[in-house]
Amino acid sequence: MNSPDLPLPPGSDALPFENTFAGLPPAFYTALSPTPLRAPYLVAVSPAAAALVGLDPEQFSTLEFIETFTGNRLPAQAAPLAAVYSGHQFGVWAGQLGDGRAILLGELPAPTTAAPGRLELQLKGAGPTPYSRMGDGRAVLRSSIREFLCSEAMAGLGIPTTRALCVTGSDQRVMRETPETTAVVTRMAPSFIRFGSFEHWFYNDQPELLRALADHVLTHFYPDLLTAANPYAALLTEVTRRTAHLVAQWQAVGFMHGVLNTDNMSILGLTLDYGPFGFMEAFDAGHICNHTDQQGRYAYSMQPQIGHWNCFALGQAMLPLIGSVEATQDALAGYKHDYDSRMAALLQAKLGLVRQLPDDNLLVDVLFAILQAGHVDFTLFFRRLGNLQRADSAGDAPLRDLFIERAAFDAWAVQYRLRLQQEERSDAARQLAMHAVNPKYILRNYLAQTAIEKADASDFSEVARLLDILARPFDEQPEHEAYADLPPDWANHLEVSCSS
């Protein structure tokens, strides 16, 4: 049990927190309060996330809110806690981990969201917990801004994700490679339960607690599965399906998570725990976004099979509940088909094709080969492809110029145009459909870095601007054209690691 030196002043009793997770047996968590940060200030708030829980962004300029979402005041109805979980890290069993710096306040009503229509609010960076191990329980401003922006950018892209309500900062420093200022990001999700939460009880040989966890997840988040012949097998089947679809959506926009350990895998199929993530720029299937991942276990091209590996780890942990190896294997077996079919559908849409024809695979394979050979910017390519005219190559230059080897593009474009002739859609209709799935704006590392550098100098305007742009990534936004550009040369040297 860990408590702050001074009792926290009372927070708002207007926030109607409920505390469903706290109703699990005590072994699931440690009840504790956040540790206050000195003189916190607001860095950013997401109006879209705030709306989900019925909050007005104006409220975030009040001291009460800033203190509440830094952990300096406790809302009257919150029952704060840190949850325990375990996990496989880089393929190796890591034993107990847990919320080492995240504190759950409880959940607020979110009537427009999926079952159960409530969102948990978690303060990440709110001080040490019994699960902090060697860590200080804090998060630095840099990583908090990255998590905040990427959570909301993923939501803008329509990809399942935990949300980010706000970031508060403090001049209080912690040591990383150098001293850095601290921040707290308030995350929201129906649940933060991870594959590793299940593994925890399996590896600790606690079948009753394993069952209590599965029943909690089924009751609150998958109520439709409760009537299945084997609800636990149905749960594994559904989580496997969601994971396959999630990874396909990542691949389609070039998102790389960076640390796909089982403790970072959401039982709801959400993108969870933003650390050294990245978006593909110059295409390289082997790209490793996490500087710490020297073997490339979590490289772009590895993500689909790692998603499956992680589902196997979950299946292993759920085996005692499901009751048979065969039923567990059956539940996991859908992954490949779910991934392949979702990915094929996403690529078909990215290419602006309505029909699915047998030779489309070849068109895709050749495309990825030339993108790879030319290290072509992934986002710009697909966005500009939407502007291609079926009958006339005169306007190809912006697309064609992305390739150093223009001939490679020209040869592919001939095949693509032939393929488009088998479609009925007009150029204008195809462009509209393609622009709705191929984003113009993604969170490029250098954009995040620019916003972070300004924030380090107490100017938070660039964080707000990026948030606004990335909330509508498919819109043209001509006034923000520069944000869709290729990264500048200095961005080639940016490195992100696990340090956060």
Binding stretches for Mg ion (CB under 5 A): 264, 273
Q: Residue 136 or 330: which CB sits closer to ligand AMP?
A: 136
Q: Does 498 bind ligand AMP (CB under 6 A)?
A: yes
Given Mg ion, ligand AMP, none, residue 71, with its beta carbon under 5 to 8 Å by kind, binds none
CA distance 104 to 79: 8
Q: Does 97 bind ligand AMP (CB under 6 A)?
A: yes
Q: Does 170 bind ligand AMP (CB under 6 A)?
A: no
How does DSSP classify residue 180? E
| Nearest approach, Cβ of residue 164 and Mg ion (Å) | 15
Given Mg ion, ligand AMP, none, residue 100, with its beta carbon under 5 to 8 Å by kind, binds ligand AMP
Choose which of 136, 284, 427, 475 interacts with ligand AMP (CB under 6 A).
136
CA-based radius of gyration for the chain: 23
Terminal Cα distance for the chain, rounded: 24
Query: Which member of 263, 293, 338, 377 is catalytic?
Result: 263
At what angle are helices 207-221 and 195-203 packed, to 10 degrees?
160
Q: Does 175 bind ligand AMP (CB under 6 A)?
A: no
Q: Does 168 bind ligand AMP (CB under 6 A)?
A: no
- Confirm if 335 and 400 have CB atoms less than 8 A apart: no
Q: Which residue stretch of 136-144, 310-318, 418-426, 446-454 sits at the interface with ligand AMP (rule: CB under 6 A)?
A: 136-144
Secondary structure of 94-122 as H, E, C letters: EEECCCCCEEEEEEEECCCCCCCCEEEEE
DSSP string, 29-45: EEE-PPPP-SS-EEEEE
> Is 263 in the active site?
yes
Given Mg ion, ligand AMP, none, residue 498, with its beta carbon under 5 to 8 Å by kind, binds ligand AMP
Q: Does 259 bind ligand AMP (CB under 6 A)?
A: yes
How does DSSP classify residue 487? P
Q: Does 101 bind ligand AMP (CB under 6 A)?
A: yes
Q: Residue 64 or 136: which CB sits closer to ligand AMP?
A: 136
CA distance 185 to 49: 12
Among the listed residues 320, 316, 386, the one whose alpha carbon sits nearest the alpha carbon of residue 349:
386
Q: What is each CA distance from 336 to 127, 299, 330, in whole angstroms?
A: 40, 18, 12
Q: Does 132 bind ligand AMP (CB under 6 A)?
A: yes
Given Mg ion, ligand AMP, none, residue 99, with its beta carbon under 5 to 8 Å by kind, binds ligand AMP
| Nearest approach, Cβ of residue 246 and ligand AMP (Å) | 17
Q: Residue 273 or 293: which CB sits closer to Mg ion?
A: 273
Q: Does 270 bind ligand AMP (CB under 6 A)?
A: no
Q: Residue 170 or 500: which CB sits closer to Mg ion?
A: 500
Would you call 290 helix, strand, or coil by DSSP?
strand
Alpha helices, DSSP H, located in 290-405: 303-322, 325-350, 360-374, 378-385, 397-400
Just list the catalytic residues. Answer: 263
Residues at the contact surface with ligand AMP, assessed by CB under 6 A: 97-101, 131-132, 135-138, 259, 264, 273, 275, 498
